[in-house]
Structure 1
Amino acid sequence: MIMSIIRGKNVKGAKSAVVFAVCALLLGCDNASSVESKFENYLERLANVQQKDTVKVVTPTPEYPRKRELFQQPSRQTVGLVDALQLSKCHLMELVAERNTVLGKVQDQFRSLEYEVALLGGLKSCLATSELGVELNEDLQRIYSIKWQELPLHISNTLYSSDSLYANAFSTNWYTKETNQGLYSLKKVLQQLSSLHAHYDKGQLPEEFDILSFQEEIEKYDQLGRISHSLQSATLYLQASTQQLKQHDSIVFCGKNRDTTKYRRLKNVFQKYYIGEIQPYLADLNSAYHTLSPHIDILYSVKLDNQYHHPVQSAYNEYKQVTINHAQYWMSLFQRCGDQVGQSG
């Protein structure tokens, strides 16, 4: 299509359109890389004013667990062919038959979870009838009991070892509001899984359960990973910036008959770079986290070793404390110098 446009009459205009389209595609990457440069620039400006070496920021290489370490194998319960035919009375024959096809046996975690929920709902309705033989009733009671006990395991597998959520969970890219595609779908999936788990705790099943409609989009993007990476990286830069300020606080003078040059220049850095650039980004990052936070607890309700739990919640808690510590330094400096926080001039 691009070549056909270029062969047209307005070649110059077509080339410009192509260049613009490519730039638009790359814009997300440029915005993401510029986020880190804002933190780096802020730290360097502080060091320049102090005329001291910049505190080094060491970003560790992330180590992500493998999916097979996160997967928990459920048991496999079967029903004989003759008994399965009796399930047609409960409208379960089609569901079970589909599951037993070649494709059904290798279906992904999203479809598998929807199947388990549908099967439990069907079994519950089936057992409530009086149309089953005694032996089949006992078999189905046993299968229902096992399936019910294993439902949290299927929730865990969907959260941690499904291709879609595993792809979404880990990233080395910064979050930006320009690259937040899939955030709403991720929220809806976590919300659905949270609701399912809450119903399970009450011994119930939800009337509606749908996560398949959001699967494709969340697999395309890495919002949970981006948010976690950004929280962790912002934490490192803010820790370094606070250390930079505290380490050389004694050379910043203020008051009458003192050389207040460093204080005034630090104050300008605070206004221009922290208030002007860092804080707006942190506001966007906070907004992204809080979009998901009402449903994030579902990530920690699963029976996995703590070492495998997703880092987003602990990353936010640490980030929140570090931002408070950083703000407290500036408050103490302004108070020491008789200024209101952030007052220009």
Structure 2
Amino acid sequence: METSLGGGEFAPARTYLDTSRCGLLPRRTVAAVTALAEAVAAGTAGGSGSFEAVDGARRGFARVAGVSPDRVAVGGSVAVHVGLVAHSLPPGAEVLFVEGDFGSLITPFTVRGDLKARFVPLEDLADAVRPGTALVAFSSVQSADGRVADLAAVREAAAAHGARTLLDATQSAGWLPLDAGAYDYTVTAGFKFLMCPRGASFLTVTEEAQESLVPIHAGWFAAADLDDPYGPAARLADTARRFDEPPAFLSYHGAEQSLALLGEIGVDAVHAHATALAARFREGLVRLGHSPVPGTSAVVGVPGLGARRPELAEAGVVVSARAGNLRAAFHLYNSAADVDRALDALS
């Protein structure tokens, strides 16, 4: 029977199929966070954390995203990254969204009140791009049910109409190969399939798109010269670091380790492993008379079955209920035995 890819890095107490909500932390990540916390408590950390660890996490995400570290900004949440992009748009600009996409990708635009927000079904997204569209903001994988966007079609449509693209890779980065350089912006929360502590998130920006972004939350860490923290920065960093939020060091000490582990295993290996488990789960659901959302996603949504989440929890199987769907997400630390336990609980 297929085993996990995690080796001795993970020790879940239950059958954990809820990475779409929160990923499990590897042992090395827990050790790094604990070591920093103890050093800060003892006054031996030389401050609250290490900038080298932050840049290690930046490099680790850059490897996952297929871009140079100079194109990666760090922060604390997707909503803050999206807010930076939303602030850059001129009044009246049209932003195209997917109906029912995650709120952190949408609300920073709609709260402005002077942008045109247009919503279409996921399957119509590419066809809905038009000459007046300034930005297409969409998730690679839908949080509610695991559907995967037609990424190539959306990119082609945006390019044909002069629209920029903002991809939220939160539900895919870590199991689905990512080419962040193919989008003007990507945003990714680290606490799901990247298995980072919450408080680590990543923004990628192409060189051309950087010109229109104003680093509205620039602090000392965004300056070109980190040796002089007083007064206004004489010059901001020439890289995407000028869009950094001041980092949450505990989160980033852990993120460096989680992303290193993911780099050792490889996203391609995780993709093959996780999607095979998801396919096994879909096949089992059909045998039980259920109708899961079709596709090859590592995230499986089962319409109308969300109410059975508490029942599965009692059986020791952790899943989510989203928009009426039962949602199971498979990752490198899962195995075929996990799939079979979930199916047994549902039968």
- Name the TM-score class by shorter chain: under 0.3
Decide which structure has greater strand share.
2
Decide which structure has greater helix share.
1
The structure that has the greater radius of gyration is 1
TM-score, with structure 1 as normaliser: 0.23
TM-score, with structure 2 as normaliser: 0.23
